[in-house]
Amino acid sequence: MVGMSGKRGNGEGSIYPYKNGYAAYVWVIKPDGKRARKYAYGKTREEVHEKWLNLHAEAKRGPVATRHPTVGAFLSYWLDSVVKPNLAPLSYVSYEGSVRLYIAPHLGSKRLDRLTVRDVREWLTKLSTVCQCCAQGKDKKREPSRRRCCAIGECCESYPSRRVIQAARDALRAALTHAVAEELISKNVASLVKVPKPRRRRIKPWSVAEASQFLTDAAARDDHLFAAWVLVLCLGLRRGEVLGLTWKSVDFERGELYVDHQIQRAGRQILHRETKTEDSDDFLPLPALCLKALRMRRAQQIGDRKAAGELWQNSHDLVFTTKYGTPIEPGNLTRMFALRARRAGLREIPLRNTRHTCSSLLVALKVHPKVAQRILRHSQIAMTMEVYAEASEEEVRAAIGKLSDVMGGTG
């Protein structure tokens, strides 16, 4: 404190009057290793003295950033320098969309080190009440004659879903985790805010009879995706895994399939890339039905190739392609599955729900429990035997018998 004599208190040499209050500085080492002054400001000497002491303590602990980016500037850096080079393309597309549409418009101008738990909570509360058709100008982008809601003053109240809000919070949390690692901030405020979890719709999977009806209808119509539906229903392959299969992955002699690639849409690109982790890669035994379906598919593709002539372009040697050899859009496979289900007179289920039907079908196809254990990735054979005990014999026989007849006697 400055006494009557005008002398400064011990250790207050760098506190001085500034504008309408006081300022102080401390010499610190920045994250890049260079030495610089870090300033603190306040209206009273006491306030600045406290900040000055905190700065001293911070400088002793390690490097201190002297310039603090805004949330928007940091998110741009994080997307370009951290996410894009190191994460899967689909992760970049997802994070970039969350940042551009939901985080930056609300929090982008705030200083990164001053972002609080309250800011994040208020942002998430507000986000759930902002019509995204208005915010993103979706209706404005339509031709004037086709505008029907927000652009003509009739808000359609297109609010973000719980899933979208959770994804936005998760993107911010991931970015702030990196900011903590780079010592730009001391704590991750986004991880301290809870968001309501999206509710999952429980959908009853198809029975063996329904799955067999679907396959019987597809076989009878000579569906060029018949083998894809067989692999999805009998082996439980995911959409991207089926579309990413190459003929090199199919071993007809040993009756095995190697799953190590997938097709994904990432923004404007369709990518043929490796599966997410090495644990996802696996040799799967092929039941007789799958082998026969794949042989039929190969003959079909040879026919497509001849018909397409010079227009054929199957650069990755994919098993499932369009009639010109190009990869099938993942979204199109989902739409085609729904269309084929309606055509077969069945209730629609999401393509990903077919994995639940896989185990029952393996029982129906009389696949040996040891082989089924490998396909279902069960660690214990007891788990597989439980599945086998549940299957209803009569229903199963009738359904598979029908499919067998259509395919020309394959069991």
Q: What is the pLDDT of residues 311-338, one digit of tens each?
A: 988 878 889 999 988 888 888 999 999 9
**76 and 47 together in one domain:** no
Q: Cα–Cα distances in Å, from 70 out to 104, 295, 394?
A: 10, 58, 67
Per-residue confidence band for 205, with pLDDT thresholds at 50, 70 and 90: confident
pLDDT confidence of residue 40? 85
Residue 250 lies in a domain: yes
Q: Cα–Cα distances in Å, from 30 out to 33, 77, 99?
A: 5, 18, 28
Comparing 54-68, 169-183, 392-406, which segment has the lowest mean pLDDT?
392-406
pLDDT confidence of residue 3? 42
What average pLDDT does the segment 217-242 reach? 88
Residue 66 lies in a domain: no
Cα atoms in the Cβ-side hemisphere of radius 13 Å centred on 153: 0
**46 and 117 together in one domain:** no
**335 and 271 together in one domain:** yes
Percent residues over pLDDT 70 in the chain: 83
Q: Is 90 exceeded by the pLDDT of residue 202?
A: no
d(CA 205, CA 160): 28
Nearest one of 134, 85, 84, 79 to 104, comparing CA atoms = 79
pLDDT confidence of residue 263? 66
| CATH number assigned to the domain comprising residue 169 | 1.10.150.130
Residue 159 lies in a domain: yes
- Domain hosting 388: range is 208-406
Nearest one of 102, 154, 149 to 130, comparing CA atoms = 102
Residue 89 lies in a domain: yes
d(CA 75, CA 384): 47
pLDDT confidence of residue 2? 45
- 172-195: per-residue pLDDT in tens? 999 999 998 887 888 999 999 988
Q: What pTM was computed for the model?
A: 0.64
Residue at which a domain ends, from 147, 165, 192: 192
**328 and 399 together in one domain:** yes
Task: Measure CA 55 to chain center.
Answer: 41
What average pLDDT does the segment 53-76 reach? 84
| CATH number assigned to the domain comprising residue 340 | 1.10.443.10
Comparing 115-124, 154-163, 205-214, 294-303, which segment has the lowest mean pLDDT?
205-214
- Beta strands 250-251 and 256-259, pairing class: antiparallel
